[in-house]
Structure 1
Amino acid sequence: MSKYLIAIDLDGTTLNDQSQISLRTQRTLDKLSHLGNVVSIITGRPFRISHQFYDQLQLHSPMANLNGAITHIPYQHWQDEYCDTVPRDLVFDLLDHQQELGIDTMSVEDKTHVWANKPTKLLPEFLPDHLDPNQILSPQTLRHDPVCVTVHYTHDSLPKLKAYVEQNYAQIVEPRVWGGHYDIIELIHRGIHKEKSVKKIANAYGIDQRNIIAFGDESNDSEMLKFAGTGVAMKNAISKVKQVANDVTPWDNNADGMARYLQGFFGLRDE
């Protein structure tokens, strides 16, 4: 069997709605890894809230965080690691205009750290719900360019916030609105998508584009699925993602849709 790169999104894809990896999914990915394939997590999550899934799957492959802004092999040096940042000045410019732009909470990430202007209970799995003094966002605590800025804005203030970012930072950052019902926008380096990480990993392992199979469900997966030789949208994916995918799983993320599709694709028996 030719070596494949299997690029897997986490939320809504590998994880069920309880943010868990099923035993079937774990066994399937483990078998494919042992057959010589490269299984890589390609997620919008930062490493601080995705490492547990990497560890659970006992991976030793590269992974991508923050939608491709960081690509690395956790816990070790990898010569192909990269990290694309956004200007530190942007962070404090937005803070200076916080009230007029309708910014409620702003969190800032690098590879291993998070800072925020205040803690929030909105999404404790994703946004910091408590902060140590050295995590409170200020020019004294954030001394370098971060990788990602996540802004929770007040309802109806998105047009004004996006217009300000595009007017002042259009050549530098790319705003992406989160899926779902949350008023959250993410700012990462312009041109960064999950596709960039998938290309980097495939090139590093000598895997042809046609031997890339990628799974996703949300708009931030679109570029990755379009690039992959086989881009697979989950049954529960938004329609935009299904339209760009080569195929759609017959089962959703709560019914082991990705694992069952992989078993069929690679001719594996369910154990």
Structure 2
Amino acid sequence: MNQHLIAIDLDGTTLNNQSRLTSETIRTLRAVAHEGHIVSIITGRPYRIAQRIYDEIGIRTPMVNFNGALTHIPHQHWDKEYDVELTREIALDLLAQHEQLGIDTITVENKFRVWANHASNHLPEFLPNQLQPNQVLTADNLDGNPIALTIEYQPEHEQDIVKAVNEKYDDFVEPRIWGGPYNILELIHRGTHKESGMFYIAKQYNISKSNIIAFGDEHNDQEMLDAAGRGVAMQNAIPTIKKIADDVTSVDNDHNGLAKYLQAYFKLEP
């Protein structure tokens, strides 16, 4: 079989409902990689909370973080690594207006560093629940351009924040609401989505679009699944994702849906 790129979202897709990998998923992904296919994590998660999953799977292929804004190979220097930055000014501007706009927490990140206006216990894996003094978001501490900016907001102010961002930064920043139970909005560089990293990786390995299989379940997977040769929605995916997908897994993320799909597609032993 021709070499494939297997592009896998993490939360709600590769991970179960406890945000963990099952032994079946690990075995299946390793088996697919052993067959010579490229297994790549393509996630909205920052590197700091995706690295352990990458290591647990045991792959050595490129990973995409921040919904396409960072593509790299962990633990090594890769001369094809790239990132798409926002600007320091946006972060400091929103920090100055955070009370007026109903913003509770602003988290700013690059590949290895994170800053926030204060610690948060609401989403301890995604938002920092502890900060060192040099991680507090201030003009003095933020010494470069970030890759990603995440806002935890008061729900009644959602449209106020979106409007403020669009009015001032619409030409190069795109606000995206997480959805689900979280009042989280992230800012990404306009035009940078998961499929950007997916196609970049495919190009490095000379893999054609027809040999790309992408898995996802949420809004931020839409461009990736729509662009892949085979876009696969999880059984637990939102209706929008199922509608644009080429296929849907037979079972959900909490019952090894991704692993079972790959086993059937590549004719692997369960």
Coarse TM-score class (shorter-chain normalised): over 0.9
Residue in 2 aligned with 1:103? 103
Structure-2 residue corresponding to 1:43: 43
Work out the CA distance in 2 between the residues paired with 1:104 and 1:144: 23
Displacement after TM superposition at 1:92 (Å): 0.8
Q: Deviations over 1:109-142 (max 9, x none)?
A: 0011110000011100110011000100011111
What's the CA shift for 1:233?
A: 0.2
Deviation at 1:179, TM superposition (A): 2.2
Q: How does 1:121-270 map to 2 (within 5 A)?
A: 121-270=121-270
**Count of residue correspondences:** 270
Superposed structure 1 runs of 4+ greater than 6 Å apart: none
Q: Give the match's secondary structure for 2:160.
A: helix
Deviation track 1:72-122 (CA, whole Å, cap 9, x = no partner) reads 001111122110011100111111111111111100000111100000111
Tell me, which stretches of 5 or more residues in structure 1 are unaligned?
A: none
Equivalent residue of 2:161, what SS? Answer: helix
Q: Which amino acid aligns with 1:225?
A: L
SS of equivalent to 2:251:
coil
Partner AA of 1:207 in structure 2: I
Q: Distance in 1 between matches of 2:219 and 2:184?
A: 14
TM-score, length of structure 2 as denominator length: 0.99
Q: Which residue of 1 aligns with 2:113?
A: 113
TM-score with structure 1 length normalisation?
A: 0.99
1:188 to partner: Cα distance: 1.2
- Residue by residue over 1:210-241, the C-alpha shift from the partner in whole angstroms, topping out at 9 and shown as x without a partner, is 00001000000010001111100000000000
The one-letter code of the counterpart of 1:6 is: I
Percentage of identical aligned residues? 51
Unaligned runs of 5+ in 2: none
Alignment correspondent of 1:2: 2
Q: Secondary structure of the residue that 1:222 maps to in structure 2?
A: helix
Superposed CA RMSD in Å reads 0.6
Secondary structure of 1:19 counterpart: coil
Secondary structure of 1:104 counterpart? strand
CA distance in 2, matches of 1:50, 1:179: 20
